[in-house]
């Protein structure tokens, strides 16, 4: 059997496609990746589309012998059970699925439901790599499982990347201490809502207590906050010596946010950490090459600087 696998838009290893590949390889099937020229000579095509704005690209593959999936195609569609249970062990994956939160901007509650345990490190790790990436949406919501997983990480001397971020509202003294004890990529948290500011400040203080001086904070903008609130959150994190990654809500499908030069300027300043740490937003806008951003902010009364909180 000949199988063609098509990855429309995933920037990281696509776990669903990795499961499909291993399933068919274990059966002795011949696998081809991202080769449109083979579409008429294979027996089966699998297509994954992660982002809804790329759905039109997936539609071009909608043939009789094609199976299309992914959040961008159908949020509720799942792999067949015999494929979903496959463990590709490519050093990236989930030990939990789902989340306890119900953030309106997030697809996880609808796609995966309430949090549950999926597996452990040995379902993901190839036994050789010293790095592992966990895609868990909210592992701290299951603290006993978090300590179990980090025990495995410590035992195998792995460097872990909690890629989707950790929930600062669930940080405790014991968890902060454990985070300081394992080898890790820079920890990521989120400051998406104004009302969690006290949790953010407390979490940063707790992490610093155990020697974790700087983390990256995802900051969602253009969803339910004003530009003033967005700049306030970014400036607060800068004042607390943190890094920031500005995420524009649905900016590729929301023309209003996409075309807003204030948010473009904010992300280009904040997301380049060496620039973010070296100058404030007003200084960034005063560079000659950024004049068009500054003119936009002044013309439409967007904030350029806010007093430190």
Q: In this model, does residue 217 exceed pLDDT 90?
A: yes
Measure the N-to-C terminal CA separation of the chain; round to a whole number of Å. Answer: 63
Mean pLDDT, residues 234-258 taken together = 81
Q: Are 61 and 73 in contact (CB under 8 A)?
A: no
Residue 117, beta-bridge partner list: 96
Q: Are 247 and 105 in contact (CB under 8 A)?
A: no
Q: Which tokens is 31 given?
A: 């696998």
Rounded CA-CA distance 187/209 in Å is 15
Q: How confident is the model at residue 79 (pLDDT cuts 50, 70, 90)?
A: very high
In the chain, domain spans: 2-69, 89-299
Cβ count within 10 A of residue 243? 18
Q: Are 189 and 164 in contact (CB under 8 A)?
A: no
Mean pLDDT, residues 149-172 taken together = 98
Instruction: Name 255's Cβ contacts closer than 8 Å, sequence gap at least 6.
Output: none
Per-residue pLDDT tens digits for 161-205: 999 999 999 999 999 999 999 999 999 999 999 999 999 999 999
Q: Please tell me the pTM assigned to this model.
A: 0.91
């Amino acid at each position: 059997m000949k199988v063609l696998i098509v990855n429309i838009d995933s920037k990281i290893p696509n776990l669903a496609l990795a499961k499909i590949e291993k399933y068919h390889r274990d059966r002795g099937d011949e696998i081809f990746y991202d080769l449109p020229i083979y579409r008429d000579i294979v027996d089966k095509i699998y297509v994954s589309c992660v982002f809804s704005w790329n759905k039109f690209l997936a539609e071009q593959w909608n043939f009789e012998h094609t199976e299309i999936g992914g959040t961008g195609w159908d949020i509720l569609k799942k792999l067949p059970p015999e494929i979903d249970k496959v463990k590709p062990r490519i050093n990236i994956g989930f030990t939990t699925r789902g989340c306890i939160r119900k953030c309106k901007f997030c697809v996880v509650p609808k796609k995966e439901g309430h949090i549950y345990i999926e597996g452990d490190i040995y379902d993901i790790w190839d036994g050789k790599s010293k790095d592992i990436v966990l895609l868990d949406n909210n592992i701290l919501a299951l603290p006993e499982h978090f300590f179990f997983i980090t025990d495995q990480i410590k035992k195998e001397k792995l460097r872990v990347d909690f890629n989707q971020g950790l929930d600062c509202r669930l940080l405790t003294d014991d968890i902060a201490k454990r985070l300081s004890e394992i080898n890790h990529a820079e920890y990521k948290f989120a400051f998406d809502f104004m009302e969690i500011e006290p949790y953010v400040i407390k979490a940063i203080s707790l992490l610093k207590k155990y020697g974790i001086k700087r983390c990256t904070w995802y900051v969602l903008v253009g969803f339910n906050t004003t530009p003033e609130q967005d700049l306030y959150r970014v400036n607060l994190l800068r004042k607390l010596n943190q890094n920031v990654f500005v995420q524009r809500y649905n900016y590729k499908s929301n023309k209003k946010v996409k075309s807003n030069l204030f948010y473009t300027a904010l992300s280009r300043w904040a997301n380049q950490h060496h620039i973010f740490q070296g100058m404030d937003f007003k200084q960034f806008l005063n560079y000659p090459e950024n004049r068009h951003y500054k003119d936009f902010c002044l013309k439409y009364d967007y904030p350029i600087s806010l007093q430190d909180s």
